[in-house]
Each structure stands twice: as structure tokens, then as C-alpha cells.
Structure 1
Amino acid sequence: MKPVFPVEKTIRERTSVRSYEPRALSTKEKDLFHDFIKTLNNPFSVNVNFRLLESSDAWKGEKLGTYGVIKGARDFIGASAPDTDLALEALGYSLEHLVLYAVALGYGTCWLGGTFDRSAFSHAMDLKKGDLFPVITPLGYPADKKRPMESVMRWAAKSDQRKEWKELFFSENFSSPLSKSDAGDFAYALEMTRLAPSAVNKQPWRVVKCQNAFHFYKAKTLKEGKNSVDLQRVDVGIAACHFGLAAAEKNLPGGFKKLPVPNINTSSELIYLFSWVLNS
């Protein structure tokens, strides 16, 4: 299915909005998002659950909060999934599709993985036992004026910077960078992948073009806590969403599939996740 918005324009317009006008979405607007959510799917066949939440959805007398990171937002989107293979990647894929849809309509969003009241939001999400609930995003009207802290946060996170092609995309092995000319028609999809957002802008995805496939790997660039969710797997799902939407827009052949681990020499910091396999 082709995207319902211009992919490159929307991806380039997307930015993390942390300051919002203090007004809630109307019922009509919420219905618009509920309807779009019904159309969402992901290539990993994981049932990702979405819930539109209001900041007034109190728990133990306290409103849903983000420790001061987000100001003014009255509505949020939470996403959860059962703990199955590629669940986090699927969640990142589906939520980014929803985020881009919101951006195309003029709404503000901001991926949050660690700076929200997880206990309160989890209660409001009505999670099932074992569900993964790694991220939320505010959803609302961007404020005309940004707070000084917001500019500081963007600078600290290097939000406007992206890695170069030679650091992310490779040909046959991890020693040979993939050129845009060798990527052919898929250079556009890979460029959209390069522009994807990620936790503290670490861009943990690596892609190796090998014969009739593009193999997606996760590069460990953040320390993992004992009991924390691996947000970098969510990040690779976000990047895959950009690749998939761009490929669909250009009618490029193929689809995502998990294959046996490719016979490519890797370090212990690189973990194979899935591939885009060209149609034969």
C-alpha cells in the first residue's frame, strides 16, 4: 500500500516538538487518528497496540507526566506489543508510520523512551501481562515559541546531525561502504533510512547490500540496563519504516523478511535482525 503522505517531505519536516499549545485534540481529530490506526500494519506480523491518552488520565491523583521534558501537551500516544520476536522493531515501525502521518497533518510529536512517568502511563495503557511498553509520544499543536531548554536539549542530543553514508551502509561486508550509485534505485530508500530519528541520535542501524537483499543489523551503541527495554531495537524499526515507506512510494520490489543469519563477518557489537529481500 502506498503512503498517504509525501514521504521525503514529511520525513524532512519531522522534528522533536517539546513545547505545545495547552489545548486538547477535539473528538473529531481523535477519530481521525483512530481511523488511521486501524489501517496500520507492520511487516513482522506483530500486533502493536495503540492508545490515545489524555494528560488528565490520572493515576493515584497524579496527571500523566514527562518530568518537565514536554510542556503544554494534553494528548499522548502510547504503543505496546506482546513480547515476541521482532516486537520492538515492529512497534518502532508502526509508531513511526503514525508519527509521520501526524506530522503530515501539521501536528507535533516527540519520541520519548526514558523521560516519562512509566508507572502512571502503564496504568493508563491497561497493559496485558508481559506486554512491552517502551515509548510514548505527545500529540498536539506545536507552540509558536520554543523554550530555551528545548534548544539546549536539541543541541545536547545533536538532533540535527546524521551519520554519513559510509558509516551506515555497506556492500557485501562491513569493510566496503556502499556508494549511492551501487545502491541504484534503492539509494532513495536508504537516504530516508539515514534520516530516521533515534534515541540520543545514535543511529544504531547498519545495512549491508548483498546480492538480492539488504540486511539490517543493530549496532550496540548504548549500554543496556539489566531490566530496561532495548530502545535501539525500536530505533531500527523506525529506520525500517522509513525504508519501507520510501520503497512503497517508488514501487521498488521486495519486502521485509527474517532470514537465517547472513554469512557476513561481524563483530560482537553487530546483531542481525531482518532483511529487505528483492522479488525474484
Structure 2
Amino acid sequence: MIAAICARHSVRRYSPEPLSEGEWAALRRAVAAVEPLDGSLEVHLALLSFDEVGGRLAVGALLTFNPAPAYLVLHAPEQEGRMEEAGFRGEQVILAATALGLGTCWVGGTFSAGAVAKRLGRPAADVLAISPVGHPDPGRLGRLSNAATEAVARSGGKRKPLASFCFGQHWGIALQPGLVPPEVYRALEMARLAPSWSNLQPWYFLVEGDAVWAIGDSRPQRFNDRPGKPYYRLDVGIAMSHFWLAMREAGHGSRWYSVRGHEGEVQERLGLPQAMVPIGHYRL
């Protein structure tokens, strides 16, 4: 999966070429094989065609977005932990699509949740995010479209250096490469490559002894805190997925454990600033 993590980039314009039966089958297998962050949570991934999802307006296929033949829809009833769970699970399918040579793009705010929800028979509040899935448009318009939207994303900030969000032992103390095994440092580099709302990268990692803590910046930025849908948590879930997949590829069998319900006490014990919310920990 490291190769897919490094290759993944957001695609906004798609070729009219349909997905092959083999590609549909591979994507369905990827959805079925998704590993949960917390198996007790009810989070659903639906793989739908363009027509099934509700058409152009429903999926936000406007301006630089060109319709894709398939859409991954993430939906869940209102419950604590659903946002990071959706990010963790959904990114596994995104990376599987990348490995197939397909383009994707997380979309949280520029689609009609109501229209998509109607097709699913769910309340609009349940629809958290979607991603188009298809062959990138190889033409000039496709290249220009992707370049323009990537420039907009970059305006939110370039990729942060690892030392700015990975700390060792104590909050604010930059993690030094030699203080952790090479595969752990590599996994943190893979987390750095995770997509996020307007490239905000609202995550931090704190390595404390044999534990890695995933932490989210809860401060509202660029409209990423919608009612009932704190997208910073979805972004942290995506980054956690990258870390876990990289560690698994390196031969580690551990997993993330949610700290849901204990955020306050963990925040105090780790000495985190008020806006920094612990999401989970990974045992090395």
C-alpha cells in the first residue's frame, strides 16, 4: 500500500471511459475487505454508479469537477467516532482504487448530501463524504483542471514538515528519526501524505514510549466544522489509515485503539493544548 499512498493524488476531472467489469469487481472486493478502526460503530460504504448516486448536482460535479462513472459514498447514523471511522475505512478503498490506476477525490462540502441521502433512503445528516472513482481525463482540460484545483488546495498550505506535527515523548518536542524504529518513522511519513480538507493537515502524532497517539486539531478552519460533521476528525482517520497500512506492510500486526469517551483525561495526561483532541493510540 505504500506505493499507492505515494501515488495517490486528488483527481477532479474524469474521462467518459466506463469502468470495466473487472474494475467494478475489484472495487467491490476492496469495500468488502475494509478493516474497521472500531468494529462497534455503524459506518457504511456504498459504491454507486453516477446515475445511482443522483446525477450531476447530487455529487457536486460542477466547475472543475467532471462526472466519474462511480462514486464511493460514506454514511453513518449520528454517533461519536463516526467521522474518524469513515476516514479510516474510506481511505482503504481510495488507495485500492489508486492501485488500480483510477482517480479519486475526497469531497465533504461541495455536494448535495440531501440528494445523495434520498437515493440511499437515509437522512441527509448521515451522509458524511463522497469520492468520485474513475479514469482521470488525460486531455488538456483534465490537466488544467487538476492543476488549478491542486493550486487552490496548496493555497491552504504546503505539506507540513514531519517535525511540525510529530512529537517525541512530550508535546511540542520534535520527533528525531533515530528515536523510533525506521518503519515507524516511515509510517509517519506516509501519514504526512494523507489528503485533508483544503490541505489543512489537522493531525498530530505523539510517540510516547511504546505508543503512538493520533491527535486532531479541533479549531474550525476553512469551514471544515459543519454541524454534526467535524471534518478534522475524518482527516485524522485518513492519516491513521495511512500509518496503519504502512506499519502492516512492514510486518506489524498491531492496530489503533479509540480513546472515545476518555479524551479529556488523555488530553490532560499528555499535556495537550485545549484544542488538541486525542483520537486514538497505536501500540508498537
What TM-score results when the alignment is normalised by the length of structure 2? 0.87
Give 3-state SS (helix, strand or coil) of 2:14's partner.
coil
Output the CA distance in 2 between the equivalents of 1:226 and 1:102.
Answer: 28
Distance 1:228 1:11 in 2: 29
Q: 1:258 to 1:64 in 2, by over 3 A?
A: closer
Shift of 1:225: 4.8
Counterpart of 1:4 in structure 2 is none
C-alpha change, 1:270 and 1:130, in structure 2 (3 Å) is same
Alignment correspondent of 1:183: 180
Number of equivalences: 271
Q: 1:65 to 1:27 in 2, by over 3 A?
A: farther
TM-score norm. by structure 1 comes to 0.88
Mark the CA change 1:99 to 1:249 in structure 2 (over 3 Å): closer, same or farther. Answer: same
State the alpha-carbon separation in 1 of the partners of residues 152 and 73 from structure 2.
25
Instruction: Indicate how the Cα distance of structure 1 residues 193 and 62 shifts in structure 2: closer, same or farther if over 3 A, else same.
Output: closer
Residue identity matched to 1:233? R
Shift of 1:25: 2.2
Whichever residue aligns with residue 257 of structure 2, its letter is K
Give the secondary-structure state (helix, strand or coil) at the position aligned to 1:56: helix
Identity of aligned residues (%): 26
Q: Given that residues 12 and 145 in structure 2 are in contact (C-alpha distance below 8 angstroms), is that contact kept between their aligned partners in structure 1? A: no
CA shift for structure 1 position 181: 1.3
Look up the match of 1:267.
Answer: 273
1:66 equivalent in alignment to 2:61: yes
Aligned equivalent of 2:206: 208
| Aligned CA distance change for structure 1 residues 228 and 142 (closer, same or farther; 3 Å) | same
User: Residues 137-160 of structure 1: CA distance to partner in whole angstroms, max 9, x if unpaired?
Assistant: 101111112253432221121189
Structure 2: gaps of 5 or more residues: none
State the partner residue of 1:139.
133
Q: Deviations over 1:109-147 (max 9, x none)?
A: 1111111122211212332x5863221010111111225
Q: Is the 8 A contact 1:57 1:64 kept in 2?
A: no
Kept in 2: contact 1:73–1:138 (CA 8 A): yes
8 A contact 2:56–2:67 mirrored in 1: no
**Conserved 8 A contact 1:22-1:73:** yes
Q: Give the structure with the larger helix fraction.
A: 2
Aligned ranges 1:241-252 → 2 under 5 Å? 241-252=241-252
Q: Quick one: which of 90, 98, 112 aligns to 2:93?
A: 98
The equivalent of 1:240 in structure 2 is 240
Match of 2:47 in 1: 52
Tell me, in whole angstroms, the C-alpha distance in 1 between the residues paired with 2:51 and 2:124. 26
User: Residues 210 and 125 of structure 1: is their aligned pair in 2 closer, same or farther, counting only changes over 3 Å?
Assistant: same
- 8 Å contact kept, 2:56–2:62: no
Which of residues 117, 136, 157 is equivalent to 1:122?
Answer: 117
Instruction: Please state how far the C-alpha of 1:248 moved relative to its aligned partner.
Output: 0.5
Q: 1:161 to 1:175 in 2, by over 3 A?
A: closer
